[in-house]
Amino acid sequence: MTEYKIALLGFGGVNRALTQLIADKNEHWANEFGFKLKIVGVSDLYFGSIINKNGLDAHELAAVPAVKGGFRTLPAGSAEPANETVIRFSGADLIAEATFTNPVDGEPATTFCRWALEKGISVVTTNKGPVALHAESLKALARSTGAQFEFEGSVMSGTPVIRLAKESLAGSEISGFKGILNGTSNFVLSSMEEGLDFSDAVAKAQELGYAEADPTADVEGHDVRLKVVILANELLGAKLTPSDVLCKGISGITSKDIAEATKANARWKLIGSAEKMSNGSITASVSPQLLPQGDALAGVSGATNAITFNTNVLGPVTVVGAGAGRFETAFALLSDIVSIHKNKTKIGK
């Protein structure tokens, strides 16, 4: 049985949920997968930091009250964040990086990933910034030090869309995709179909925790644009940056538009897509699209995500699953850790 020492960067919903899963499921993972996780360090801008190379109590960590400097209440805890110290000196084998997404340059998360990978520490992340902007250099760095860089949760939360496409659809010749890749915008559109106007639908999404206080990244398509870049680069061999993806959000859709779509037996969806052209180039976009009810994506409502892969061998293949939620996203981190463990077991390291 293998024990991995893991350090957590960020202690918001996702890594706190991962901590709870470790507290509840470690023995089950030992039986099912052959490994356990021991948390040896945590750093967070709000909670502070804590390190214990012998292992922290996951139950105790998961129960830390949501107050500024909360780690100060634990033995050896500090109210100050210490990202570099936790990465370099906690003794971690794995880093779970779940800090905020910076769509401009991917910092400081990209630097956190580099610090870890330089030391041969594998990284699992849900952060779109480092993946959309720096995946190639981070993967190359990981290869050079014998570490692994995994990011399944960066696109569809707990739904394993990247690994599914690379492994289960290997040989299917994926030529493109279109998807509902943002649960917030899909929830807003679904709520508008139920009679709310745009602003009230956004307020409802905020009330339920689907939307941030500033929902711009979700409703204007910026979040989807990063995910399209990640998928196009990973699955289609593109070398896109966010500026290469035309982007339009849903803020211009009115209740009248929704009503007219319903009469036409169609539904508005915010779609992120990419397609490989005959000359090998990749075109990609994010935009509201009017889908007929017969489209596999048209029936996807609420905060659910879905993606249709266009393949030359199988035709269209649609995957529907959770696109939001802290435990769902924490599961993506777990799936990456399982993948890392399998790879290490395979090569005997």
Residues noted as catalytic: 227
Specify the amino acid at residue 25: K
Strand segments, DSSP code E, in the chain are 2-9, 35-44, 48-51, 94-97, 122-125, 149-150, 174-180, 246-247, 266-276, 282-292, 304-311, 315-322
DSSP type of residue 106: -
- Cβ neighbours for 270, distance < 8 A, ≥ 6 positions apart: 180, 182, 185, 186, 189, 221, 224, 249, 250, 286, 287, 288, 289
- Compute CA 175 distance to the chain's CA centroid, rounded to the nearest angstrom: 23
List, in sequence order, every beta strand (DSSP E) within 204-258.
246-247
179 CA to centre of own chain = 15
What counts of helices (H) and strands (E) characterise the chain? 13, 12
What is the rounded distance in angstroms from the CA atom of residue 87 to the CA atom of residue 79? 17
DSSP 54-74: T---HHHHHT--SSTTGGGGS
Token readout for 63 is: 């129960």
Backbone angles phi, psi at 252, to 5 degrees: -85, -5
Q: Which of 218, 199, 239, 335 is nearest to 286 (CA)?
A: 218
